[in-house]
Amino acid sequence: MTSALAMDIEGLHAFMAREFGQVAGDLRVESLTPDGLHLRLVVDDRHLRPGGTVSGPTIFMLADVAFYLAILSRIGPVALAVTTGCSIDFMRKPAAGRPLIAEARLLKLGRVLAVGDVLVHSEGTPAPVARAGMTYSIPPARG
């Protein structure tokens, strides 16, 4: 799926800082792709669960925000686009001390729904640590 960009990387960062300051400092869009984007999370101690691995909620947050930003990069700053469905598989333990990279891919971007997937990798490791299937609801345009 290829679509014109409505927001570039700096626009996405500015939107996150303005609307979602609670996580904006943790995340960095690395690249926009023809069908999505790559988002980086630098993992620190607050992202870990007992046993020293990245927590499931942290990986979910990364996947969810990556897909959200992929949508916004195509439709513009629509703050009220919301997650309506997510199925996530945690497949292996993330590599210790490495950032996580989410590769979000838009499979369908309609007027009211967006569907896609996100693969989460430890930086430098080819096998994914998680895979999420995502569905978002897009609010109607206000006129």
Q: Provide the token pair at 100.
A: 């996580």
Q: Provide the token pair at 72.
A: 């916004």
Q: What domains appear along the chain, each with residue ranges and CATH number?
A: 9-137 (3.10.129.10)
d(CA 48, CA 12): 26
List per-block mean pLDDT (blocks of 10 residues) for the chain, which spans 143 residues.
Answer: 84 96 95 96 87 91 97 95 97 90 98 97 95 96 56
Contact 111, 78 (CB under 8 A): no
Q: Provide the token pair at 79.
A: 């703050």
Contact 85, 134 (CB under 8 A): yes
3-class DSSP assignment, residue 124: coil
Its pTM stands at: 0.94
Contact 9, 33 (CB under 8 A): no
Q: How high is the pLDDT of residue 3?
A: 64
